[in-house]
Structure 1
Amino acid sequence: MPIDSPVPRRRPSPRLPALAVIAAALLTACSAGSDASGGARGDGAAAAVTRAGLSRSLPDDPARMVLPTTGAETRWTQGLDVFVWQVARATATTCANERGAVLPEAAPPAFIRFSELPDLDFIALHGTSASAPVPAPATSPTATRPAGPAVQRRCAAEGEAAADALRDLYGPLQQKWFGELVSLRRDPETVRALRALPDCLAQRGIEVPDENGFFALADTRMQTTDPADLPREQRALGQAYAGCMRPVEAIREPARKHLLNRFRTTHAEELDTLRRTLLPALRKAAADHDVSLVFPAP
Structure 2
Amino acid sequence: MIRPAIWRKLVTRTATAAAAALLAVACSTDLGPSSNPSSGTSSPPVPPARLTYALPDDPVRMLFPATGAETRWTQGLSVFGQQVARTVEAACARNGGIGLPEQTPLAFIPFSEIPDLDFLAQHGFGQSAEVPSPAASPAPPRSGSPTATRPCRAQGAAAARTVRDAYAPLQNRWFRELASLRRDPATVRASRTLPDCLAGHGFNVRDEDGFFGLVDSRLLTAAPADFPYVDRELGHAYAACMRPVEAVREPARLRLRTRFLAAHADQAHELRKTLIPSLRRAEQRHSLRLCFPAP
Indicate whether the TM-score tops 0.5. yes
1:61 pairs, out of 55, 58, 61, with 58
The aligned counterpart of 1:282 is 279
2:98 pairs, out of 90, 101, 110, with 101
Report matched runs for 1:1-298 at 5 Å: 19=1, 22-27=2-7, 50-138=47-135, 140=137, 143-298=140-295
Kindly indicate whether the alpha-carbon contact (under 8 Å) linking 1:91 and 1:155 is maintained by their aligned counterparts in 2. yes
Kindly indicate whether the alpha-carbon contact (under 8 Å) linking 1:51 and 1:126 is maintained by their aligned counterparts in 2. yes
Mapped to 2, the partners of 1:237 and 1:148 lie a distance apart of: 42
The aligned counterpart of 2:34 is none
Q: CA deviation at 1:238?
A: 0.6
Kindly indicate whether the alpha-carbon contact (under 8 Å) linking 1:97 and 1:142 is maintained by their aligned counterparts in 2. no
Q: CA deviation at 1:98?
A: 1.8
Provide closer, same or farther for how the CA distance between residues 198 and 46 of structure 1 changes in structure 2, counting only shifts above 3 A.
farther
Q: CA deviation at 1:229?
A: 1.4
Provide closer, same or farther for how the CA distance between residues 93 and 228 of structure 1 changes in structure 2, counting only shifts above 3 A.
same
Provide closer, same or farther for how the CA distance between residues 48 and 192 of structure 1 changes in structure 2, counting only shifts above 3 A.
farther
User: Unmatched 5+ residue regions in structure 1?
Assistant: 1-18, 31-41
> Normalized against structure 1, the TM-score is what?
0.84
Kindly indicate whether the alpha-carbon contact (under 8 Å) linking 1:49 and 1:235 is maintained by their aligned counterparts in 2. no
Mapped to 1, the partners of 2:250 and 2:285 lie a distance apart of: 37
Structure 2 counterpart of 1:118, one-letter code: P
Q: Could you report, residue by residue, the CA deviation over 1:7-47 in whole angstroms, capped at 9, with x for unpaired residues?
A: xxxxxxxxxxxx2xx342431669xxxxxxxxxxx795865
Mapped to 1, the partners of 2:95 and 2:280 lie a distance apart of: 24
Provide closer, same or farther for how the CA distance between residues 45 and 274 of structure 1 changes in structure 2, counting only shifts above 3 A.
farther
Kindly indicate whether the alpha-carbon contact (under 8 Å) linking 1:102 and 1:147 is maintained by their aligned counterparts in 2. yes
Structure 1 counterpart of 2:182, one-letter code: R
What secondary structure does 1:169 align onto?
A: coil
Mapped to 1, the partners of 2:65 and 2:284 lie a distance apart of: 26
* RMSD (Å) for aligned C-alpha atoms: 2.1
Q: CA deviation at 1:142?
A: 6.2
Mapped to 2, the partners of 1:245 and 1:108 lie a distance apart of: 29
Kindly indicate whether the alpha-carbon contact (under 8 Å) linking 1:201 and 1:207 is maintained by their aligned counterparts in 2. yes
Kindly indicate whether the alpha-carbon contact (under 8 Å) linking 1:49 and 1:234 is maintained by their aligned counterparts in 2. no
Q: Could you report, residue by residue, the CA deviation over 1:52-111 in whole angstroms, capped at 9, with x for unpaired residues?
A: 111000001111111000111000011011111010010111112222222222221100
Structure 1 counterpart of 2:90, one-letter code: T
Q: Is 150-159 or 111-120 further displaced after alignment?
A: 150-159
Q: CA deviation at 1:139?
A: 7.2
Provide closer, same or farther for how the CA distance between residues 44 and 70 of structure 1 changes in structure 2, counting only shifts above 3 A.
farther
Mapped to 1, the partners of 2:188 and 2:248 lie a distance apart of: 10
Structure 2 counterpart of 1:152, one-letter code: T
Provide closer, same or farther for how the CA distance between residues 142 and 63 of structure 1 changes in structure 2, counting only shifts above 3 A.
farther
Q: Is 252-261 or 95-104 further displaced after alignment?
A: 95-104
Provide closer, same or farther for how the CA distance between residues 178 and 46 of structure 1 changes in structure 2, counting only shifts above 3 A.
farther
> Normalized against structure 2, the TM-score is what?
0.85
What secondary structure does 1:257 align onto?
A: helix
Kindly indicate whether the alpha-carbon contact (under 8 Å) linking 1:190 and 1:248 is maintained by their aligned counterparts in 2. yes
Provide closer, same or farther for how the CA distance between residues 43 and 177 of structure 1 changes in structure 2, counting only shifts above 3 A.
farther
Q: CA deviation at 1:156?
A: 0.8
Kindly indicate whether the alpha-carbon contact (under 8 Å) linking 1:56 and 1:293 is maintained by their aligned counterparts in 2. yes
Kindly indicate whether the alpha-carbon contact (under 8 Å) linking 1:26 and 1:114 is maintained by their aligned counterparts in 2. no
User: Unmatched 5+ residue regions in structure 2?
Assistant: 15-38
Kindly indicate whether the alpha-carbon contact (under 8 Å) linking 1:72 and 1:119 is maintained by their aligned counterparts in 2. yes
Mapped to 1, the partners of 2:147 and 2:230 lie a distance apart of: 47
Mapped to 1, the partners of 2:180 and 2:67 lie a distance apart of: 16
